[in-house]
Structures are given as structure tokens and as C-alpha cells.
Amino acid sequence: MQYVMGSIVLAVAGLCLIPGFLILRKSWQRAAGWTIAYGVVTGAESGGGLSGEANVYLPTVEICCPDGRRYTFRASSGSGRYPSTGATVKVVYNPEDPTEGELFWDLWVWPFVLLLLGSFFLMFAILTYAGSVFAES
């Protein structure tokens, strides 16, 4: 029974760790190849939440590029609270297309959460397998 439980927990660990590493790799590439700057929150767009009634506010951010031109992009993630208009935020943007950008924080949140969860599940699976080995001896 412990082998089955350990196998299920190990599978869940893999379902967290593999996407976590893939998203981390993508975030790392963006952080290395894109430009880091500070932008100003100019407002938000309302996006659909997980349920039909809930709203998620996705901040719109304006950045000023080195050539002096201003560009606006919408962040890919948000929250249930309306963002503070006028707040300065750290962003990364594509220097070839400055309308493509992300909040700097958003690059690292999901990989961190997935890798942390996956690590806990992996430790639990190892302890479950170890417990079953010692129980048999």
C-alpha cells in the first residue's frame, strides 16, 4: 500500500517539478534577453477569473524606452484588487517589441511555487518509500 501511495505522490511531484523547471527556464531566458526597466501602472483591464463572477484586474504598465518613446503593455497576471494607479513597478520587456512585457515579479512566482510544492511532494514520496523499506525489515 505504501508503494502505491509513494508512487502517486512521486507522480504529483513530477507534475509540479517538470512544469516548474520549464517555466523557470523560460523566465530565465526572458530575464537574460529582455530589458529590465521601471514602469508606471496606468490602470487595469478586467479579465475573467476562475469562476464566471470573479474578476481579475490585469495592470496596464507604461514604460519609457531609451529612445524616449513610451509603450504600454498589459501584464499577463493580476489580482482581485485594482492595482494602484501611478505605482512604479519593475518590469522586463522585449527590446524588439516593447509592447511585449511582464512584471518582473511574475517571472519568478510560478516557477518558485511549483518547484517548492514539487520538492515537498518529492520529500514525502522519498519518506514514504523509506518507511515502507524499513517496515519490511
Q: Tell me the three cell numbers of residue 76.
A: 499577463
Mean pLDDT, the chain, rounded, equals 88
Average pLDDT over residues 71-99: 91
Question: Which residue bears the cell 529582455?
Answer: 34
Asked whether the beta carbons of 41 and 59 are under 8 A apart, the reply is: yes
- Spans of all domains in the chain: 2-136
Quick check: 3 pLDDT over 80? no
**CA distance linking residue 33 with residue 36, whole number of Å:** 9
Q: pTM of the full predicted structure?
A: 0.72
**CA distance linking residue 92 with residue 55, whole number of Å:** 25
- The reported pLDDT for the residue numbered 95 is 93
Separation in Å, CA 32 to CA 2, 25, 94, 95, 110: 44, 11, 11, 12, 18
Quick check: 9 pLDDT over 80? yes
With H, G, I as helix, E, B as strand and everything else as coil, classify residue 51.
Answer: coil
pLDDT digits (tens, 9 = 90+) for 32-69: 999 999 999 999 988 755 555 567 888 999 999 998 99
CA proximity to 6, closest of 118, 123, 116, 114: 123
